Amino acid sequence: MRFVAHHLEELFTEHKIKKIDAVIPSHVHDDHICGIPYLQKHLGVECWTIKQMAPILENPARWSSTPCCYHEPIRIDRRFSDGEEFTWEEYRFRIYHVPGQTEFHSVIAVAIDDTKVAFTGDNIFEQPVATWGSHTETDPIQTQVFRNSFQLSMHKKCKEVMNKILPERVCPGHGETFYFDKLKTNEYSDYIDQKETLFRELSPEPAEQYSDLFWARLLPYQSVVKSGKEQEFTLLVRNNFGKAKEFRAELLAPKEWKIVKGSGRIRLSSGSSGEIIMTIKAPTNPANGIFRQLVTAEIHIDSIPQGPVAEALVRVKRP
């Protein structure tokens, strides 16, 4: 379901809501954030978010290699650190960076009427496993989409947070709330552990590298540059290997584009990340009137070529 303005009237009249102070998106997918610009423009609503999500919400064109980004930038009024506690009216919340269904995801924990509640977005849902008469037995599952950016360590973080907050009720991003307890938390943890085991059995080594589709990401993914002007790109790289590696990148641009700073290298320790800055200059008059072009970064890891695995789209603004 996507946001439609007339649902606000129902919220105000049937549920007696007088004012919306702030909205806290669970994650960056468009079905969860597409109404925020409307709320900010027409109702003066603030947007609060964990700091790992803020860059994507503020500048979606830059990060649009991430699936399901909403195209309209969102103003961020308050940024939270991972695990930060904050208060709204009589409620004390704690927000965590929990990269599950997508890398850019959070979970919010709060006690409501003496019940520990977790707002889990699209991370956790119930999976039916057996039915007896009118009763259906369910197990909690952790959603995953490789294209949303996934590392094995991310779902370990999800497991750690859920074991820390131990909710008694889960409010998912879709569907009804459902009961949760220590047993459900254990089942959820087992699900993540079993899934990692299967991934490792199916994947070449290191599984951390081959399950990470965004070990290299070129930013901005979409950009507009004036003809004859320069465009800077940032290549983000993650070392998923068990030891230090050298990453070398070369920017591959269309023929008429001038390479200003076309390559770079960085040495990363195991599990760390870094960036390489490269710059190109747009042509004054692109050949054949083609003003939108593909730019790629060819990457070598310890001198072993990986191919042009990161890409971006750049459009030349006509004079």
**pLDDT tens profile 182-234:** 999 999 999 999 999 999 999 999 999 999 999 999 999 999 999 899 999 99
Question: pTM for the complete prediction?
Answer: 0.92
Average pLDDT, the chain: 93
Share of the chain above pLDDT 70, in %: 97
Q: What is the pLDDT of residue 149?
A: 92
Mean pLDDT, range 291-308, rounded to an integer: 95
Residue 3: pLDDT over 90: no
Residue 1: pLDDT over 60: no
Residues 28-74: tens digit of each pLDDT: 999 999 999 999 999 999 999 999 999 999 999 999 999 999 999 99
Residues 150-174: tens digit of each pLDDT: 999 999 999 999 999 999 999 999 9
CATH architecture of 1-80: 4-Layer Sandwich (3.60)
The dihedrals phi and psi of 218, each to the nearest 5 degrees, come to: -100, 125
Q: What is the pLDDT of residue 234?
A: 98
Q: Give ranges for CATH 3.60.15.10 in the chain.
A: 1-80
Residue 319: pLDDT over 70: no
Q: How far apart are CA 24 and CA 215, in angstroms?
A: 28
Q: How far apart are CA 180 and CA 164, in angstroms?
A: 13
Fold of 215-317: Immunoglobulin-like (2.60.40)
Q: Give ranges for CATH 2.60.40.10 in the chain.
A: 215-317
